[in-house]
Amino acid sequence: MSREAQEKDVRTNIPVEGIGHPEKAVQENGVTAAWLGEAPLGPAAVTWGVPWKAGELKREEPLRLVSASGMPLPVQSWPTAYYPDGSVKWTAHAVSLGEGAEASYTLSKGESEAPVEGVSVQEHAGRIVVDTGRAVYTLGTEGEALVRSIVRGERTLCTGARLVGYREEESVTEGARVTRTQALRSRLHRVTVEQRGPVRAVVKFEGRHALLGGRSPREWLPFTVRLYFYAGQESVRAVHTFVYDGDPGKDGVKGIGLSFTLPLEGPLYNRHVRFTGDTGVFAESPKTLMTIRTQGKYQELYRSQTAGENVAFDPQEDARFLTLLDDSAVWDHFKLVQHSADSYTVSKRTGPACSWLKAVTGSRSRGVAYAGSEAGGLALGLRHFWRKHPASLELSGLSGEAAEATAWFWSPDAPAMDLRHYDTTTHLESSYEGFHELRSTPYGVANTNELTFWCLERTPSHEELDAMAGSLERPAQLVCEPQRYHDTGAFGVWSLPSRDTPLQAELEDLLDAAIEFYKAEIEQRRWYGFWDFGDVMHSYDPVRHTWRYDIGGCAWQNTELVPNMWLWLTFLRTGREDVFRLAEAMTRHTSEVDTYHFGEYAGLGSRHNVVHWGCGCKEARISMAGLHRYFYYLTGDERTGDIMEEVVDADYTTVTLDPMRYYFPKDEFPTHTRVGPDWSAFCSNWMTRWERFEDTAYRDKLLVGWEAMKGMPHRLLTGPTFGYDPKTGELLHMSDDNWGRHLMICMGAPQVWFELAELLGDDQWREMLAEFGAFYPLTPEEKAARTGGAIGKQGWDHPVFFTVMMAYAAARYGDEALARRTWDILFGDKLMQRIARTDEVDRLAFVRPLREIPDVSTNSVSQWSLNTIVCLELIGRWLGSGEAGTAGRGGETVTSSS
C-alpha cells in the first residue's frame, strides 16, 4: 500500500490491518458521564455502564467518582464484560445522589469514597433485612409476601406487599356463557441477594402465582421481581416480569399487579388520596371536608386538607360541623383506570355493595398514586402507565385500620387478556406468513414492567408528586459521550455524525428524518398497549392509509431486519435522549414478548406477524443477545442479563425445530442452519456469554464454526445453508449456492461478525468478510467464473442490504470504485429520498387527520439507516464533496424492500 493510502487510512480510522479504531492514550482526567436529557431536580439513584479499550482497565483496579465541582462521591462498581486478554471491557456503576445533581461526573482509577451510611443487607432465617439509612425493609423468603414490613424512623409504613391477580375462564353450559374468576397470590420459591451495597443492593424474588379457592393447589404464571435499594433514598425501584404458561383458550389473565398493605392512623379527614393526571393532581380524602355548609374557616380548613395538611377541630367550638362530618359519606375505595392511550377515569365508592362514582376523566395519566394518614404513607408509580394500558392504580380500605394500595400492570377493570391467534389457520401465500404450520402460542412469552414506590412520612405536595411522575417517566440515567463509545470500539463499527460536506449533511438529515418519522408514527398510529408498546409495524397499505395490521407477516416488526441495532447505534453516535427511550422500549418489548423464555421454543423468537407470537417461524435471530446487549451494557439491567443467558443454547432447539425444515428434508445432519441469520445469531449469543463470564467453552464453540467456514469450498460465499451439529458447533457442507444471500446479511450478521473479527484479531475472517463484499456487485456470469460455476444461479437481491459488506471490502482493499458504487446504492434509494416528506391524507379517507408515506417499509428504513451509519465510518472518505459526478449522484437507482 502506498504511503498516501496509509496516511488516508489513519485519517479515517481505517487501520491497514483491518477495520477498527486506532489505539488512543487513556484520558488522564478519566471518563466523563453526563445526564441523558435534563439533570434530575431532586434525589436520584442511577446505574450506568462505561466501555473500556482492551488493556485500559485491569479487573483489580478500583475506580473513583468525582462530580464536576470536584466533590468525590461514593460509587459502587463491577465489571460486566471482559476482553480475551482478561482486561475489563465494560463496567457498571451505581451512585445515590441527593438534591442538586451536577451536570457531569468523572470516573477515574483510584479508591472510591466510602458512603457515610451505606446500604446494609442482613440475611436471617425466613427473612432479609435491608437498611438504606432512610428506611428499613424486611423482605420475605417464603410464603406470599415479598415485603413484610417497611419502617421509617418510628413509623411502620407498610405491613406487607405481595403479587396479586385474577385468572378467568369462560365456558358455555346449556347455551349460556359462564365466567369463573379465581384470585391469585404470589408464592415464593427462591429469593437471592444479588448485590449487597454499599451504594446499591438488589434482591431477586422468583416464584409462581397460586390460585386461591380452587380444588387443586395449582401454581401458575412464573414471576421474577427485583427490588433495587439505594443508600439514603426514600424510593425503591421494582422490576416485575411474568411469563405466560397457560392455555389461551382457557386461562385468561384478568388482572396482575403488586399490592401493599398500609397501616392507617388518625381521623378519616386526615387520610389522603392522590392520583397524578395529565398535568396535575387529583387530591381527595376518604372524608372530605366539603359539606353543604362548608364556608368561612371550614373553607380554609378544607383548602388545607386538600393540600395534604393535617387539620384539627375543637370538640366544642366545632361540634356542629363535626356532626355534619359524621353524617357525610365515607369514601373507602378509589381507583384510576387507564382504559386506552387516550382515556382514563378516576372513580370512587363507599363500599362493595354500592355503585362507583365517576370523579374525573382525562387522557393520559402520569401513573402515580398515594395513600396515607397521619402515620405517613406510600406513593406508587407505574412507568409507561398510559403507554402500556390497560393499567390501573387502586386504593381500598381507606376507612379502616389498614388500606390496600395496588398497582395493576393489567387492570382487572379491563377484559381478560386475549392471547389467542387471530385465525384457526395460517395464510402463507396471501399474507407472507412463515409456514403452513400453525405454531401461534403465547406459552413462554413474557412481559416486564417497572414500578417505583416511595416511603413517605407525610402526604407529598403537588410539586413533589409532579417530580415523582417526572422521575418515573424519565428515570435518571448517566451516559458517556458518543466519542467515548466510539473510541473504545463499543459494539463494533459505526460512525460519529459529521456535516462537513453537503453529502454528509444530506445523509445525516435523512437519518434524522427516519427517526422523526417513526416517533410521529408511534403517536399517530397509537402503537401502545401492554403487549404492543415498544414495537413498530412492518409495511404499509396506502389504500386503507394504515399499516398492514391484519396481513399475517406484514404487521408487527418483531426485530425483523434489526431496527433495535439501528436505534441503539443512532443513540451511541448522537447521545439523543429520545432515541435512547425508543431503543429502550423496543428492547424491553422484543426481548420479552417476541421471545420464548421456556417451553418447546425456549431461546427462540417469533418472526413478524399480526400477533407477536403468531408466526410459525421460531428463530434465533429474533431473540439473539446481540439485539439486547446494548441496553444491558449501557444500564446494567439485570433482567436483560437473564434473557441473554436464556438464549445461549438456542442452537439446540433447532434439532426439533429445523429453521430450514420447509426446504430441506431430514437427512444425515442433526439439523440445518443458515450461516446468517441462524449461525450468526448463535455467534452473538456465544460472544456475549464469553465476554460476560469468560466462559471459554462458548468461545471454542464459536471458533469451531469459524474454522469450518474457513475450510468451506468458497469460504463465506459457500452455502449459505449448512448441516449443523449443536453438540460440537460444527458447520457441515451440503452444497453450494443452495439459498439466497439477502437474509444472510440483513439480520445483524455483519455487525456481529465485524465486532468478533476485531475482538479475536482474526485477519483471515476479516478477509472472508471483505471477499464477500467484493463478490456481491459482480454479475452472475462473473460470480460463476470466479467459483468454477458453483455460485451464480441464486439471486443476490436487495442491494441496500449488501452495502455494509461492500463498504467493508472497499475499506480493506482501498477500492474507491467499490466505495462509490456503494454510495450510489444508498443515495439511490427512493424511499429514503422522501423519508422527510409525508403526504396529507384526504380528511374523508381515514378516521382522523393523517400524514403518510405510501410505500414505507420498516425493513427498508431500518437497513438503510443501519448500513449508512456503518458505511460513513468505513468509506466516508469516498463520499465526495457534493459536486456533480461524485458519489451519490450518478449511480443506480434502487428501492430496498423485503
What pLDDT sits at residue 258? 98
- The answer to whether residue 80 is domain-embedded is yes
* Buried/exposed code over 870-889 (b: 16+ C-beta within 10 A; e: otherwise): bbbbbbbbbbbeeeeebbbe
Query: Out of 7-16, 653-662, 807-816, which region has the weakest mean confidence (pLDDT)?
Result: 7-16
Distance CA 359, CA 395 (A): 14
- Give tens-digit pLDDT for 532-567: 999 999 999 999 999 999 999 999 999 999 999 999
894 and 847 share a domain?
yes
- The answer to whether residue 168 is domain-embedded is yes
36 and 92 share a domain?
yes
Which stretches within 50-129 are classed as H helix? none
Find the mean pLDDT for residues 132-154.
97
Q: Mean pLDDT score of the chain, rounded to an integer? A: 93
- Give tens-digit pLDDT for 311-367: 999 999 999 999 999 999 999 999 999 999 999 999 999 999 999 999 999 999 999
- The answer to whether residue 642 is domain-embedded is no
Distance CA 642, CA 647 (A): 9
What pLDDT sits at residue 214? 62
323 and 355 share a domain?
no
311 and 401 share a domain?
no
258 and 404 share a domain?
yes
204 and 126 share a domain?
yes
Bridge pairing between strands 145-152 and 136-140: antiparallel
Distance CA 684, CA 722 (A): 18
| Identity of the amino acid at 371 | A
Q: Is the pLDDT of residue 891 over 50?
A: no
Q: Is the pLDDT of residue 747 over 70?
A: yes
Give how many domains the chain has, as a whole number: 4
Q: Is the pLDDT of residue 2 over 90?
A: no
Q: Is the pLDDT of residue 896 over 50?
A: no
User: Residue 133 belongs to what domain range?
Assistant: 115-288+332-415+447-475
What pLDDT sits at residue 501? 95
What pLDDT sits at residue 816? 97
**Of 327, 347, 382, which residue constitutes the final position of a domain?**
327
Say if CB 517 and CB 838 are below 8 A apart. Answer: yes
69 and 177 share a domain?
no
Say if CB 80 and CB 42 are below 8 A apart. Answer: no
Q: Is the pLDDT of residue 242 over 50?
A: yes
Any idea what the CATH number is for the domain that residue 120 is in? 2.70.98
- The answer to whether residue 812 is domain-embedded is yes
- The answer to whether residue 618 is domain-embedded is no
Selected residue with higher pLDDT from 297 and 26: 297
Distance CA 331, CA 338 (A): 21
What pLDDT sits at residue 897? 35
Cell of 123: 440475611
- The answer to whether residue 704 is domain-embedded is no
299 and 365 share a domain?
no
311 and 386 share a domain?
no
269 and 411 share a domain?
yes
- The answer to whether residue 303 is domain-embedded is yes
Q: Is the pLDDT of residue 16 over 70?
A: no
151 and 233 share a domain?
yes
What pLDDT sits at residue 173? 77
322 and 359 share a domain?
no
| Band of pLDDT at residue 177, cut at 50, 70 and 90 | confident
**Of 83, 109, 135, which residue constitutes the final position of a domain?**
109
Distance CA 674, CA 725 (A): 13
Query: Out of 27-41, 44-58, 148-162, 598-612, which region has the weakest mean confidence (pLDDT)?
Result: 27-41
Supply φ then ψ for residue 115, to 5 degrees: -65, 145
What pLDDT sits at residue 174? 75
Distance CA 219, CA 409 (A): 19
| Band of pLDDT at residue 881, cut at 50, 70 and 90 | low
Among candidates 443, 388, 394, which has minimal Cα distance to 420?
A: 443
Before 263, cis peptide (omega within 30)?
Answer: no
